[in-house]
Amino acid sequence: MQELNENIMELDKLPLTDRSFRDIRENNYLYIDKTEYIYKILNVFNYNCCFLSRPRRFGKTLLLKTINALFQGDRKLFSGLWIDKSDYQFEKHPVLNFNMAYSEIYTKDDLISRIKTDLRNAGDLEEIKINATSYGEMLGELLKGISLKYGVDAVILVDEYDAPVARNISDRTLAAANRDVLHDFYQSMKTNIDSIHFVFVTGITRFAMSSFDSGPNNFMDISLQPELAGICGFTPRELDNYFGDRMEQILQKLKDDEAVAANADVDDLKKIIFDWYDGYNWLGPEHVLNPYSILYFFARKEFDAYWPVSGYTSHLRALVRENPQKFLQPRLDSYTSAELGISHLDNLKPVPVLFHSGYLTIDRKISNNIRSEGRTKVVKTFTFRTPNWEVEQNFRASLFKDAFAPEESYLSALTELLPEALLEKNSENVSDLLHDLLSSISFGQHASSGQRIFSEKYYHSIIHASLLAAGFEVYSQGSGAHGMSDITLFLTDRVRVVIELKYCSADSDVSDYYSSQAGKAQSENERSAKEFTAALDRAEKQIIANDYAGPYRANRCEVICMALALRGRDEVKVRFLDL
């Protein structure tokens, strides 16, 4: 083995592909030292059963490989790392590794068969005969055999614990059946805890973890434990320590490409990096940067959306297709810890799913004093936001494309023609472009039973996602002096388009109200025209009254103010304000 380099700053190779901990350490790949967190789990908190939820591509697998190597007792692999300088004893324990991301699971019997195969293979490897036929008893025989053979108990590491449930979420019957199988398997770990030294389970979701929440020897969910918040991903401090020597080279490349200002310094570069890839909050003292995106950014030396393509999960795609409105514009406030951990497969709420998948992060933790039955108790709630620029500009566009499958030609037309139409304030052309795009989208299939999904909020989310999918820089609910505009489009560096949207439903009370205010309509066309005029008037008055353009003009930007009214997907009207 090569002599391990004790100065981590000199490690040059970036581990862009899946590698073992030994490979990384022996071949001088960059390793962000997470061993202090592992030490805390084992020797400070003394946990013996742990569960960790983190998004895809955040380093869960490498964390398990590091723990695996630690229990192999090869101290040389950890030379120079935090744990090597601690009082950790590097005791050896046999390790059983399970990766539950099985392919071709079509029935629960397929899942049972794969688990049994893994147990038999582990027994063969350890030369332990397994006579039992149920997987719970098989695990018990294997663990007892290992304890007798080695004189120490085994360690169990489980990666992608939730895959058999999450990958089949569009088939709730199969997902529930697989969840029952997993429940029994993980319950058998708790049953055999006397023959286990340590268990660590990782995954993305929490809706497959009912077996972790009940019974003796509950798994300790460390996902929101502040002291362990940086166990996966990179903290700002780690960015400085491990990537600081690369900053100047990256900065010069970005200047040459005119991707940053010519007078930008390293602090300016770090701010842009934080805007793009930072912002994940698991209640620790520091936010966490996306590790996948940081590695690719430093490898390719350009800002791009690296993680959204790789991090988008099949279960999220399936849930979005079931109910796109809920996921495109979720309610982001007042979720309790219990609601974040909700695990009912028939009632999966968007915010917990988006949070655990990495598309939302905790914004604030709020403690409320609730008076009940003469006593006061503290209830903690959370609000949420998108973590960073990379996610904000990509996840809604991805969800939109998956949910509605818009025709690419109409998206391309929006990309190519909308900027000129906006700059010219050509209301007819803008109306036509939005009309054509909305007409190409399939809406009806998403209406749930007895629930009318067509509303102002719904179309707001569709317009926002359409603009994102077409490649525009878009923000919703941007703050004004006295309120919040519906949509703000950053058309150029110095041009902002402020949009206020109103929806006219042909069968709504609002529609009847407008008709009554204008007098009895002589025809449907006349009635429609009056409705649109009234809606555009309301939008215009709101833009003016709340001074939505003010903050952008204060920054010396040109502001284009646009009132937008829709009735269904086939009728779109635009009015530009002459301010």
Confidence of residue 10 (pLDDT cuts 50, 70, 90): very low
Q: What is the pLDDT of residue 214?
A: 53
Eight-state DSSP code of residue 40: I
**Percent helix / strand / coil, the chain, rounded to 5:** 50, 15, 35
Tokens standing for 267? 């602090």
Q: Which residues contact 578 (CB under 8 A, 6 or more apart)?
A: none
Beta bridge partners of 487: 476, 499
- The pairs formed by 523-529 with CB atoms below 8 angstroms and a separation of 24 or more are 528/504, 528/567, 528/571
Confidence of residue 509 (pLDDT cuts 50, 70, 90): very low
What amino acid is encoded at 262 in this protein?
A: A
Of all residues in the chain, the percent with pLDDT exceeding 90 is 65
Q: How far apart are CA 162 and CA 209, in angstroms?
A: 8
Q: Which residues contact 563 (CB under 8 A, 6 or more apart)?
A: 499, 500, 502, 536, 539, 540, 543, 574, 575, 576, 577
Compute how many other C-beta atoms are within 10 angstroms of the C-beta atom of residue 110: 17
- Res. 158: pLDDT tops 60: yes
Q: What is the pLDDT of residue 307?
A: 96
> How far, in whole angstroms, is CA 55 from its chain's centroid?
6
94 phi-psi bin (left φ>0, alpha ψ -120 to 50, beta other): beta
> What is the average per-residue pLDDT within 122-132?
96
Q: How far apart are CA 234 and CA 568, in angstroms?
A: 45
The winner for highest mean pLDDT among 41-55, 366-380, 405-419 is: 41-55
Q: What is the pLDDT of residue 70?
A: 97
User: Higher model confidence: residue 571 or residue 279?
Assistant: 279
End-to-end CA gap in the chain: 72
Tokens standing for 527? 């009635």
Q: Does domain 35-228 have CATH number 3.40.50?
A: yes
Nearest to 462 by CA among 370, 564, 545: 564
Q: Over the stretch 510-546, which tens digit does the pLDDT of each residue have?
A: 444 444 544 454 577 788 888 899 999 999 999 999 9
- Res. 500: pLDDT tops 90: yes
- Res. 335: pLDDT tops 60: yes
| pTM for this model (two decimals) | 0.84
Q: What is the pLDDT of residue 521?
A: 46
> What is the average per-residue pLDDT within 107-130?
96
> What is the average per-residue pLDDT within 78-105?
96
Delimit the domains of the chain by residue range.
Answer: 35-228, 234-279+289-395, 405-576
- What is the number of residues in the chain? 579
Tokens standing for 336? 């309790």
Q: Over the stretch 271-289, which tens digit does the pLDDT of each residue have?
A: 999 999 999 999 999 999 9
